[in-house]
Amino acid sequence: MMGREVRMVPKNWEHPKKDNGEYIPLFEGPFELDANEWDKECIEWNSGNYPDYASEENKKLSYSEWNGERPEKCDYMTSFKDEEKTHLMMYETTTEGTPISPAFKTPEELARWLADNNASAFGSSTATYEQWLSTCKSGFAPSAVYTTENGLQSGVEALL
């Protein structure tokens, strides 16, 4: 799901970057689970066991043409041991996931940094400390929420 997501990382975690300095988008793991699910579904597809929602036209495609290529380990976050995951880092998940903050020990520190630095809650929308704190504690907010009362607003803002 797209939005803002707290990921637990080691204290000194540095998200990988391309040669040009841009972050490399990475899915939250575990890679093995996604790869195994893809393999299982591919075997089913190749055996003629299609999902109910696959059209006759879809069934003419290979599994990778229909559902995308098999996941690759290089597209996933490093799998850290539980005892290493001591800090929180906010990620945008509109792509696979890139950080929008440094790592912090507490939700309060993370929320303070996000609010003080006008971090993007959705597009050019920012959020208050209280809104960010709610998201930091819950772990996730969708990109945006639309209501007839408030119109379109960031998920960070709407969920408080």
Nearest to 115 by CA among 151, 155, 157, 146: 157
Alpha carbon distance 26, 15 (integer Å): 9
What's the rounded mean pLDDT across residues 25-41?
94
Tokens 């993007």, residue?
120
Which two tokens mark 60?
């003419």
Tell whether the model's pLDDT for residue 94 goes beyond 90: no
pLDDT at 105: 98
The pTM of this model reads 0.85
Tokens 């920012």, residue?
126
pLDDT at 57: 95
Under 8 Å between Cβ of 146 and 152: yes
Express each pLDDT in 100-153 by its tens digit: 999 999 999 999 999 999 999 999 999 999 999 999 999 999 999 999 998 999
Three-state SS for 156?
A: helix
- Write down the mean pLDDT value for the chain: 95
Percent of the chain surpassing pLDDT 90: 91
Domain boundaries along the sequence of the chain: 3-12+77-158, 31-74
Phi, psi of 124 (to 5 degrees): -90, 5
Q: Which residues contact 99 (CB under 8 A, 6 or more apart)?
A: 15, 23, 89, 90, 91
pLDDT at 30: 86
Q: How confident is the model at residue 1 (pLDDT cuts 50, 70, 90)?
A: low
Alpha carbon distance 44, 51 (integer Å): 9
